[in-house]
Protein backbone atom coordinates (compact mmCIF):
# COMPACT_ATOMS: atom_id res chain seq x y z
CA UNK A 1 0.00 0.00 0.00
CA UNK A 2 1.42 3.35 -0.96
CA UNK A 3 1.12 6.52 1.06
CA UNK A 4 -1.38 7.80 -1.52
CA UNK A 5 -3.52 4.73 -0.86
CA UNK A 6 -3.19 5.36 2.87
CA UNK A 7 -4.38 8.96 2.46
CA UNK A 8 -7.24 8.01 0.16
CA UNK A 9 -8.47 5.22 2.38
CA UNK A 10 -7.76 7.06 5.65
CA UNK A 11 -6.98 3.60 6.96
CA UNK A 12 -4.13 1.78 8.60
CA UNK A 13 -1.24 0.34 6.64
CA UNK A 14 -1.50 -3.46 6.35
CA UNK A 15 1.41 -5.89 6.16
CA UNK A 16 1.07 -9.68 5.78
CA UNK A 17 3.15 -12.02 7.95
CA UNK A 18 3.37 -15.82 7.78
CA UNK A 19 4.20 -17.68 11.01
CA UNK A 20 7.23 -19.89 10.48
CA UNK A 21 8.59 -22.68 12.65
CA UNK A 22 11.32 -20.35 13.95
CA UNK A 23 8.61 -18.01 15.33
CA UNK A 24 7.09 -20.68 17.58
CA UNK A 25 7.80 -22.50 20.79
CA UNK A 26 7.85 -26.30 21.16
CA UNK A 27 4.05 -26.37 21.09
CA UNK A 28 3.73 -24.55 17.76
CA UNK A 29 2.51 -21.32 19.41
CA UNK A 30 4.12 -17.97 18.51
CA UNK A 31 6.60 -16.98 21.21
CA UNK A 32 5.43 -13.73 22.81
CA UNK A 33 8.49 -11.63 21.86
CA UNK A 34 8.01 -12.46 18.19
CA UNK A 35 4.82 -10.39 18.05
CA UNK A 36 7.08 -7.38 18.63
CA UNK A 37 9.23 -8.48 15.67
CA UNK A 38 6.11 -8.74 13.50
CA UNK A 39 5.08 -5.23 14.61
CA UNK A 40 8.58 -3.88 13.84
CA UNK A 41 8.51 -5.29 10.30
CA UNK A 42 5.09 -3.75 9.70
CA UNK A 43 6.22 -0.31 10.98
CA UNK A 44 9.26 -0.45 8.73
CA UNK A 45 7.09 -1.29 5.72
CA UNK A 46 4.64 1.51 6.57
CA UNK A 47 7.54 3.99 6.59
CA UNK A 48 8.87 2.50 3.35
CA UNK A 49 5.42 2.98 1.76
CA UNK A 50 5.61 6.62 2.88
CA UNK A 51 8.96 6.94 1.10
CA UNK A 52 11.24 6.71 4.14
CA UNK A 53 13.99 4.15 4.45
CA UNK A 54 16.00 3.69 7.64
CA UNK A 55 19.33 3.52 5.79
CA UNK A 56 18.66 6.75 3.89
CA UNK A 57 17.76 8.57 7.12
CA UNK A 58 20.93 7.31 8.80
CA UNK A 59 23.23 8.04 5.88
CA UNK A 60 21.62 11.30 4.76
CA UNK A 61 20.47 12.97 7.96
CA UNK A 62 22.34 11.00 10.62
CA UNK A 63 18.96 10.19 12.19
CA UNK A 64 17.47 6.94 13.43
CA UNK A 65 14.13 5.84 14.78
CA UNK A 66 14.25 3.92 18.05
CA UNK A 67 11.51 2.41 20.18
CA UNK A 68 11.00 4.57 23.25
CA UNK A 69 8.01 2.77 24.73
CA UNK A 70 5.96 -0.30 23.86
CA UNK A 71 2.99 -2.05 25.41
CA UNK A 72 1.47 -5.25 24.16
CA UNK A 73 -1.78 -7.01 24.99
CA UNK A 74 -1.76 -10.68 24.03
CA UNK A 75 -5.35 -11.73 23.38
CA UNK A 76 -5.18 -15.06 21.50
CA UNK A 77 -2.32 -17.25 20.29
CA UNK A 78 -1.02 -17.34 16.75
CA UNK A 79 0.16 -20.72 15.52
CA UNK A 80 2.56 -22.28 13.06
CA UNK A 81 1.64 -21.53 9.42
CA UNK A 82 -0.96 -18.88 10.33
CA UNK A 83 -1.35 -16.03 7.83
CA UNK A 84 -1.42 -12.82 9.86
CA UNK A 85 -2.19 -9.22 9.02
CA UNK A 86 -0.46 -6.43 10.93
CA UNK A 87 -2.34 -3.13 10.75
CA UNK A 88 -0.40 0.00 11.71
CA UNK A 89 -2.04 3.35 12.38
CA UNK A 90 -0.32 6.62 13.25
CA UNK A 91 -2.07 8.05 16.32
CA UNK A 92 0.13 10.99 17.21
CA UNK A 93 3.14 13.11 16.29
CA UNK A 94 5.39 14.94 18.72
CA UNK A 95 8.43 17.05 17.98
CA UNK A 96 10.66 13.98 18.04
CA UNK A 97 8.19 11.09 18.41
CA UNK A 98 5.56 9.12 16.53
CA UNK A 99 2.83 7.15 18.32
CA UNK A 100 1.40 4.10 16.58
CA UNK A 101 -1.28 1.54 17.31
CA UNK A 102 -0.81 -1.88 15.77
CA UNK A 103 -3.16 -4.83 15.59
CA UNK A 104 -2.06 -8.33 14.67
CA UNK A 105 -4.95 -10.38 13.29
CA UNK A 106 -5.70 -13.79 11.84
CA UNK A 107 -8.76 -13.90 9.56
CA UNK A 108 -10.04 -10.70 11.14
CA UNK A 109 -9.70 -11.92 14.74
CA UNK A 110 -7.40 -9.76 16.84
CA UNK A 111 -4.58 -11.72 18.45
CA UNK A 112 -2.31 -8.99 19.76
CA UNK A 113 -2.60 -5.23 20.23
CA UNK A 114 0.58 -3.13 20.37
CA UNK A 115 1.05 0.55 21.17
CA UNK A 116 4.49 1.94 20.42
CA UNK A 117 6.20 5.30 20.62
CA UNK A 118 9.19 5.66 18.35
CA UNK A 119 11.66 8.49 18.87
CA UNK A 120 13.92 10.19 16.39
CA UNK A 121 17.52 10.28 17.61
CA UNK A 122 20.83 11.46 16.21
CA UNK A 123 23.99 9.38 15.94
CA UNK A 124 24.85 10.44 19.49
CA UNK A 125 21.57 8.93 20.77
CA UNK A 126 20.11 12.29 21.75
CA UNK A 127 16.56 13.22 20.70
CA UNK A 128 16.23 15.02 17.38
CA UNK A 129 13.27 16.61 15.62
CA UNK A 130 11.44 14.42 13.14
CA UNK A 131 12.51 15.30 9.59
CA UNK A 132 10.02 17.73 8.05
CA UNK A 133 9.26 15.45 5.06
CA UNK A 134 8.41 12.58 7.42
CA UNK A 135 6.13 14.83 9.49
CA UNK A 136 4.47 16.08 6.29
CA UNK A 137 3.90 12.52 5.07
CA UNK A 138 2.48 11.24 8.37
CA UNK A 139 0.37 14.25 9.43
CA UNK A 140 -2.56 13.60 7.05
CA UNK A 141 -2.94 9.98 8.14
CA UNK A 142 -3.09 10.49 11.92
CA UNK A 143 -6.00 8.56 13.38
CA UNK A 144 -7.49 9.05 16.82
User: Which amino acids are annotated catalytic?
Assistant: 25
- CA 122 – CA 124 distance, rounded (Å): 5
> Residue 19: exposed, middle, or buried by beta-carbon count in 10 A (0-12, 13-18, 19+)?
buried
Amino acid sequence: MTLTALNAAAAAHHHPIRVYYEDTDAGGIVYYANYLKFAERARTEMLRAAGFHHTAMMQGDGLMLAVRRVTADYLRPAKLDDALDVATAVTGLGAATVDLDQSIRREGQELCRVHVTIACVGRDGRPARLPAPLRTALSPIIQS
